């Protein structure tokens, strides 16, 4: 079993990539008001950047159907940071200019012009008589940069996990209805249902393995060999799973548990137990030999994966830290306190919050991926049944995805695909459009 996440890394992006193109009609002068953070002209005749735009990256290959296989890390741009940048190895690289671009709108804005951001209830039911004159949206999205391919119906409660194991033509989804459903990627039909005694709290795919976080248990099975294992040890619900340093790590009601895979015995052996958090651990991510854990105690803890020692406690959030995400040398976190925070290393190598993005509602999940032009985007699920889509690092809004209920899980697929699962049990398949009407 290949548990080395560093072998499967997404294309690394520069920290200041804005994705904008030079405009020959604009004056080659940086906007004074933009530098002060208060330009409200659209379009602005002056540049909204201080460096030339990066070379245009090749478009990622697009597919028309659902994936037949995947090789990716869940809800993250990359599985690891560049660990060559800091003394001692494994730490985040310090970027002295990290304050220059976060939250600044790039030239052209990338903003979406909207009319009434509410989906028409009659349109959802198929009987709206107003047609194009309706004040409300007759679409599940705004922004014209992605499209809904299909909806997979079957779960009766919250979709809590989505997994795509390597070498498989199946998509797996887990729910608090105590089932895992297996979907055929070619037909979109449900190919099987696995029943459990407890609710599914999370799922993770690593190579051919699928891990399912349950109550007081983690199930592991190999989709190629058929190996089926039960990992005991968790107390209460398992909320998060991640792989790092040849270990499987689980966030539970009672802290963090780690197992090592023993190839000779074909089993997972207990490796560590971390109980420093004072409340449930609900989010985990690994980068540069560090483990970052978000908790209901409102904190993020930074762990050394070699020594399993806590290196730092981040206390900027005032409510549950629902999701943590790695992008380049930055750590992003979201919370029910209605904020998304960007953390970067300071002079001493410790993380500090360098930018805070405010939302109108609590944020439940983050997912980082690339659009059809290989530009970095951030998907943020909020408590108002929407997913906001932002360009990075500017946080310019690209569009929104609307859902019947709050989306709990967002998962990356190959070929520009991504998946969302909401509290009603609905699983949706989305695809980035090759040509987008929005500009960067």
pLDDT at res. 65: 44
> Residue-wise pLDDT tens for the chain (440 aa)?
444 433 332 232 233 333 444 444 445 677 766 666 667 666 677 777 654 544 444 444 444 344 444 334 445 554 333 333 333 333 444 454 455 578 876 544 444 434 467 888 877 778 888 888 888 888 888 888 889 999 999 999 999 999 998 888 899 999 999 999 999 988 889 999 999 999 999 999 999 999 999 999 999 999 888 899 999 999 999 999 999 999 999 999 999 999 998 888 888 999 999 999 999 999 999 998 899 999 999 999 999 999 999 999 999 999 999 999 999 899 999 999 999 999 999 999 899 999 999 999 999 999 999 998 899 999 999 999 999 999 999 999 999 999 989 999 999 998 889 999 999 999 999 999 886 444 43
Q: In whole angstroms, what is the distance from residue 145 CA to residue 253 CA?
A: 38
CB atoms within 10 A of CB 254: 18
Cα→Cα distances 314→46, 204, 416, Å: 38, 25, 33
Tell me, yes or no, if the pTM score tops 0.85: no
What pLDDT, on a 0 to 100 scale, did the predictor assign at position 120?
Answer: 84
Residues contacting 56, CB < 8 A, separation 6+:
21, 373
Q: In whole angstroms, give the CA distance from residue 77 to residue 11.
A: 8
Which helix (DSSP H) or strand (DSSP E) does residue 125 occupy? helix 121-125
- The values of phi and psi at residue 260, to 5°, are -105, 140
**Pick from 393, 336, 392, 389: nearest CA to 362:** 336
User: Order of strands across the sheet with 290-295?
Assistant: 281-287, 290-295, 300-304, 310-314
Tokens at 406, concatenated: 């709050």
Q: In the 3-class helix/strand/coil scheme, how is 398-416 assigned residue by residue? A: EEEEECCCCEEEEEECCCC
Tokens read off for 107: 């030239």
Which string of DSSP letters, residue by residue, matches 297-359? TS-EEEEETTT--EEEEE---SS-EEEEEEETTEEEEEETTSEEEEEEE-TTS-EEEEEEEE-
DSSP H/E element including 135: none
CB 334 within 8 A of CB 323: yes
Return the structure tokens found at 153. Answer: 């119906």
How far apart, in Å, are the Cα atoms of 108 and each of 104, 115, 244, 389?
12, 20, 40, 16
Please give the order of strands across the beta sheet that includes 363-370.
141-142, 397-402, 386-391, 376-382, 363-370
pLDDT value for 31: 75
pLDDT recorded at residue 119: 82
CB of 126 closer than 8 Å to CB of 167: no
Distance of CA 375 to the CA centre of its chain: 15
Tokens, residue 59: 């478009």
What pLDDT score does 36 carry?
65
How many other CB atoms sit within 10 Å of the CB of residue 434? 12
The answer to whether 387 and 381 are in contact (CB under 8 A) is yes
Q: DSSP 3-state assignment of 175?
A: strand
**How many whole angstroms separate alpha carbon 336 and alpha carbon 316?**
12
């Amino acid at each position: 079993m290949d548990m080395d996440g560093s072998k499967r890394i997404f294309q690394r992006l520069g920290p200041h990539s804005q994705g904008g193109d030079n405009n020959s009609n604009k004056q080659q002068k940086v906007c004074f008001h933009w530098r002060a953070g208060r330009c409200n002209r659209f379009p602005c005749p002056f540049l909204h950047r201080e460096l030339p735009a990066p070379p245009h990256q090749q478009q990622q290959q697009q597919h028309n159907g659902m994936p037949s296989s995947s090789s990716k890390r869940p809800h993250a741009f990359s599985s690891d940071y560049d660990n060559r940048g800091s003394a001692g190895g494994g730490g985040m690289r310090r970027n002295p200019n990290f304050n220059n671009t976060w939250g600044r709108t790039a030239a052209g804005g990338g903003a979406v012009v909207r009319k009434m951001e509410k989906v028409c209830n009659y349109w959802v039911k198929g009987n709206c008589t107003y047609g194009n004159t309706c004040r409300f949206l007759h679409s599940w999205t705004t922004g014209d940069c992605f499209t809904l391919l299909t909806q997979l119906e079957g779960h009766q409660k919250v979709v809590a996990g989505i997994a795509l194991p390597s070498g498989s033509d199946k998509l797996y989804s887990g729910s608090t209805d105590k089932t895992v459903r297996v979907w055929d990627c070619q037909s979109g039909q449900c190919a099987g249902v696995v029943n459990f005694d407890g609710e599914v709290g999370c799922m993770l795919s690593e190579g051919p393995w699928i891990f399912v976080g349950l109550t007081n248990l983690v199930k592991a099975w190999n989709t190629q060999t058929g190996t089926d294992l039960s990992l005991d040890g968790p107390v209460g619900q398992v909320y998060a799973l991640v792989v790092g340093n040849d270990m499987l790590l689980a966030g539970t009601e009672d802290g963090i548990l780690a197992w090592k895979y023993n190839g000779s015995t074909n089993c997972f052996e207990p490796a560590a137990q971390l109980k420093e958090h004072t409340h449930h651990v609900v989010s985990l991510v690994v980068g540069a030999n560090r483990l970052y854990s978000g908790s209901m105690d409102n904190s993020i803890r930074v762990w050394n994966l070699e020594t399993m020692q806590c290196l730092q406690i981040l206390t900027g959030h005032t409510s549950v830290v629902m999701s943590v995400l790695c992008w380049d040398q930055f750590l992003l976190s979201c919370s029910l306190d209605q904020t998304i925070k960007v953390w970067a290393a300071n002079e001493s190598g410790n993380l500090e919050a360098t930018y805070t993005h405010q939302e109108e509602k609590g944020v439940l999940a983050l997912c980082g991926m690339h659009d059809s032009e290989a530009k970095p985007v951030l998907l943020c699920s909020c408590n108002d049944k929407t997913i906001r889509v932002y360009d990075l690092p500017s946080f310019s809004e690209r569009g929104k995805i609307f859902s019947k209920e709050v989306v709990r899980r967002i998962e990356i697929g190959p070929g520009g695909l991504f998946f969302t699962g909401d509290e009603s049990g609905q699983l949706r398949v989305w695809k980035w459009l090759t040509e987008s009407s929005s500009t960067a």
